[in-house]
Chain A
Amino acid sequence: MGVLSEEVREHIRGLFPKYPNKRAVTLPALHLVHDTYRAVSKEAIVEIAELLELHPSEVHDTMTFYNFFKDEKNPLGKHRVWFCRSISCALRGGEELFEQVCNKYHVHPGEKSGDGKFTVEFAECLGACEGAPCILVNDECHMDMTVESTSKLIDKL
C-alpha cells in the first residue's frame, strides 16, 4: 500500500493506451496526483515512476521543470487562484489587483490562505487579454476583474 490510491493508479494506467510509451503519461499522471492530493510528494514520485517504469529522478526532473506542481512542503490550498501579470493585464492594473487581493486576505504569493481554502499565485499571460486584468480560479478564467469582483469569487470558494 502506497500513498496513491488504487483509484488514482487505475486512472493513470487507463491512460497508457493513448500513447506509444508510458513515459508520455508523466504529465497527465502528475496532474492527476496533484489535483487529488494538492501536492506531489516524494513518495508519490516514486510510485508514479514505478507505474510508468521510469527512474524517480526522471519524473522529478519533469515535474520540477514546470513550476506548476507543488511538493509536500508547500501543498496547494483547496483552490488555486492565479493572477496574470503579463503585459496586457499589467497595462490595465493586473499587478495592483494582485497586490490588493494579497493584502486583503493576508496571503503571500505562492502560499495558502490561513484557512487553507485557496492559494494565490501570479501567472504569465493567461490568454484572456480582451478581459484584462484577468484571473484564473483553478482552470476557469474570469475577466475584467476588480478587487470587489475577485473578492466575491474568493469568498464563494
Chain B
Amino acid sequence: MAKFEPVLFARIHKPDSTSLKSYQADGGYSRLKEFLSMAPADVANIVKDAGLRGRGGAGFPTGLKWTFLPKDHPGPIYLAINADESEPGTFNNRYLMELDPHQLIEGIMLACHAIKSNNAYLYLRYEYGRSYRVLDAAVKECYAAGLLGKNILGTGFNLDIVLHRGAGAYICGEETGLIESLEGKRAWPRIKPPFPAIEGLFRKPTIVNNVETLCCVTQILYRGGEWFKSIGVPPDPNNPRDPGSYGPKLYCVSGHVNKPCCVELPLGVTARELIEEHAGGVWKGRKAKAVVPGGISMGFLSDKELDTKLDFAGPGKVGCLGLGTAAVVVVDDQTSMVDVLYNCCRFMSHESCGQCTPCREGTAWMTKILERIRSGNGRLTDLDLLTEVAGSMGIIPGTTICGLSDGAAWPVKNAISKFRGDFEEYIKSGKASVTSAQKLMAVH
C-alpha cells in the first residue's frame, strides 16, 4: 500500500507554519471567496456528502448535525468550537492549533458560512497557553487582512471569532457543559432535548464542533468530498446504520511506547500498526498488556485485540465504548491493571461535575473500592460490586444527563471483564501498592 501523505499535518513541520503569509503561500484562503460566494446549503451539502464524522469523540456526522438548525432562523446562530481537549491521552487538537492555526480558522469561516453564523466562540482549555497565543496572533492577522470582521473579501459575509479560555474542567468538553461554561456558569451539562442546534449558546441555535473536525472541513472544501471518501473505511454493507469511517484521522500514541507521537493516518489503522510502525514498539522490549483505544473513557483492548481496526465501529466490536478521541495509551505487561484502573477512576471522580447522583457517587465509590483493594484490604466480592456500580451509571442505563458517566464506567467494566485475573491475583496476594506520591495527592 502506498504511504499515506498527511493532509491535516501537511504543513506542521514547515518553518513559520503558523503565519498567514506561509499559509497563503501554500494556497490557504485562495478559494475562500469562491466558497463564501456559494449558497450556505451547498457548502453544508459538500461536507454532508463527504461523510465527515465529528472527531471530538462521539463520531456524529457533522453535516447532519448542521441540518438540525431551524430553517430560516432570523439569528443569531452561533458556532462554538470545542477546543477543551481534556480526555487523558489526547493531544491532537493542540498540534493543529499550535502549528497550523489558519487551517482551523479557515474551517471555522467555512462552517460559519454553511450554518449562517456570524459569531464563533472558540472555547480553549486554559492549559493550552501556547495554543492561545498562536491562535490569538492568527486571528489578529486575519482581522488586519480583512479575512475576519465585516464584509469578508467583499462577499458580504461577516464573522467574528472570540477566543474564550476555560479554567481546567474536563466536563467543559461535553457540548452543553461547554455552553454553560461559556455563558459564565458552572459547567453543568443540560438535559437534552432541546439540543444545542435548537437552543444552545445564549439560548440561540448553536453548533458545537471539534477543532480537528473543522480542519477536515477546510480540506474537504479544497479537495472535494470524493477525495475524503477515498480515504478510510466505507460503511459495513451488513449494517444499515453504519455511516462509515471516512477520511484521515490524527491518532495520539502515548504511555509505554518507545516513541510517543501524534500521527495522521487513514481511519481504520490497527492498534498494533500504530504501536509497531509509528510509536517504535512497546518500551523496554516488553509486550503490551492493555491498550486504551481512544482516551480512557473508551475502556481497554486486551493483548488479543490489538488487531482491532481503530475506525468508528472497530472498538465497539470488542466491547469498548467506541473510537473516542483515537488517543491510544499503551500499558506494558509489567504493570498491574489494578493500578491503571485506579488512575482512570480517580480522574473521573475528580472530574465528575456532581450534577447527577449516580455519577458523583458512583465515580467516588469506585475510586474508594479501588483504594481499598490497593491498600491490601480488597475482597473478591469487590469486583462484582465495582461491576454493579459501573453498570448503574450513565446515559446507557439512563441514569445521568451526560456521557461522562458512561466513560467513567467503561474502563471499569472492561478492566474487570478482560483482566479479571489481574484483579483476583492482586486481592488474594493481599499486597498493597498505594505509593507515597499517591498519598501526597490524596491529602490535597
Residues of A within 8 A of B (CB): 18-21, 23-28, 30-31, 52, 58, 61-62, 65-69, 82, 85-88, 90-92, 95-96, 98-99, 102, 108-110, 121-132, 136, 138-141
The answer to whether B185 and A130 touch across the interface, beta carbons within 8 angstroms, is: no
Query: Is B32 interfacial (CB 8 A cutoff)?
Result: no
Q: Which residues of B contact A95 (CB under 8 A)?
A: 435, 437-438, 441
A106 CA to B84 CA, complexed, in Å: 33
Q: Which residues of A contact B85 (CB under 8 A)?
A: 127
Q: Which residues of A contact B319 (CB under 8 A)?
A: none
The answer to whether A122 and B441 touch across the interface, beta carbons within 8 angstroms, is: yes
Interface of B is mostly: mixed
B327-370 CB contact bits vs A (8 Å, 1 = yes)?
10101000100001001100100110100000000000000000
The answer to whether B88 and A91 touch across the interface, beta carbons within 8 angstroms, is: no
Q: Which residues of A contact B292 (CB under 8 A)?
A: 87
A111 CB to closest chain B CB (Å) equals 9
Known: A91-B335, A99-B436, A124-B347. A66 touches B340 (CB 8 A): no
The answer to whether A87 and B170 touch across the interface, beta carbons within 8 angstroms, is: no
The answer to whether A62 and B441 touch across the interface, beta carbons within 8 angstroms, is: no
The answer to whether B347 and A87 touch across the interface, beta carbons within 8 angstroms, is: yes
Q: Which residues of B contact A88 (CB under 8 A)?
A: 88-89, 254-255, 260, 329
Q: Which residues of B contact A108 (CB under 8 A)?
A: 440, 443-444
Q: Which residues of A contact B162 (CB under 8 A)?
A: 18-19
B76-90 CB contact bits vs A (8 Å, 1 = yes)?
100000000111111
A61 CA to B188 CA, complexed, in Å: 12
A136 CA to B125 CA, complexed, in Å: 13
Query: Can you name the residue of chain B whose Cβ is closest to the Cβ of A125?
Result: B88
Query: Is B184 interfacial (CB 8 A cutoff)?
Result: yes
Pick the residue among B88, B167, B183, B440 that contacts A109 (CB under 8 A).
Answer: B440
A157 CA to B91 CA, complexed, in Å: 27
Residue tally, chain B, CB below 8 Å to A:
63
A62 CA to B347 CA, complexed, in Å: 21
The answer to whether B129 and A141 touch across the interface, beta carbons within 8 angstroms, is: yes
Query: Can you name the residue of chain B whose Cβ is closest to the Cβ of A136?
Result: B127
Known: A91-B331, A98-B441, A99-B437. A28 touches B90 (CB 8 A): no
A90 CA to B347 CA, complexed, in Å: 12
B41 CB to closest chain A CB (Å) equals 26
Query: Is B11 interfacial (CB 8 A cutoff)?
Result: no
Q: Which residues of B contact A20 (CB under 8 A)?
A: 76, 202
Pick the residue among A23, A130, A138, A139 that contacts B91 (CB under 8 A).
Answer: A130
The answer to whether B167 and A68 touch across the interface, beta carbons within 8 angstroms, is: yes
Query: Is B168 interfacial (CB 8 A cutoff)?
Result: yes
Query: Is B132 interfacial (CB 8 A cutoff)?
Result: yes
Known: A110-B444, A130-B252, A130-B261. A62 touches B186 (CB 8 A): yes
Query: Is B94 interfacial (CB 8 A cutoff)?
Result: yes
A68 CA to B186 CA, complexed, in Å: 12
Q: Which residues of B contact A68 (CB under 8 A)?
A: 126, 167-169
Query: Is B112 interfacial (CB 8 A cutoff)?
Result: no
Known: A24-B182, A62-B185, A67-B168. A126 touches B127 (CB 8 A): yes
A104 CA to B303 CA, complexed, in Å: 39
